[in-house]
Chain A
């Protein structure tokens, strides 16, 4: 059924961002690392997913948290290493540690920054606010987002040359 704004011929801009679909996400990762990337959708975890890795928190540039990304330790190490072509064997070793070395963590943060593109929101900004290390408590603004099953994407990702890792993307509901 057409909404009032449709009937008026003036499309209403979306009020919230949308998680990039799987293929577009793969393409985004390929562009960043210049490596063929495969991603498969996982059955959705019970909400919210367990935190055993790093959490990225995104806001709209005005302080409202609108999206988040959670990566397991493998994905975190892969992102931090692949950005500057550190090989997969090293990423695997880093993934076995409690936290990543500071320079790899800095790279991961930059990947999360580029990861603003994992959410589409025409006419609006999405800005990386913070990155939380493993063991952090659930950021209170993020928990309701990840409890939503409709606006979440759980993916297993293989970047060629790197071990498989998992990422969960979520954004605020419509």
Chain B
């Protein structure tokens, strides 16, 4: 499984990758981006990406802007937000834009595992 991890915090990108492996996806491979703009370039250039795990608030281009542009480009790769945003309007915007899930930081390995299961299966 190839996963694009998008977060402006390098530490959080590491944490997400570590937790994905803890979920049992030991063979997962990762690409990284630190903002939506870079992530968009990577996502559109790599058709092998199986899943995008993305923060919401980032410089240059936010996670929701990235997702909207991705869907405009007719890229339907599964997409999950991992964010500290939890306001209802954010959840609604994420769902409307075509995100498969929104996981709030901090999150358990079990919660991430269930979210991954829902998109991988």
Contact = CB atoms under 8 A, between A and B. Distances in A.
Interface in A68-124: 83-84, 106-107, 109-110, 113-114, 116-117, 123-124
Contacts of A16: none
B107 interface: yes
A130 interface: no
A83 B84 contact: no
A83 B11 contact: yes
Given A83-B15, A106-B9, A106-B11, A114 B108 contact: no
A113 B15 contact: no
B37 interface: no
A84 B16 CA distance: 11
B17 to A, nearest CB: 11
Contact of A107 (B11, B104, B107): B11
Interface residues of B, number: 20
B87 A125 contact: yes
A31 interface: yes
A130 B49 CA distance: 34
A114 B12 CA distance: 10
B9 A117 contact: no
Interface of A: 28-29, 31-32, 34, 83-84, 106-107, 109-110, 113-114, 116-117, 123-125, 127-128
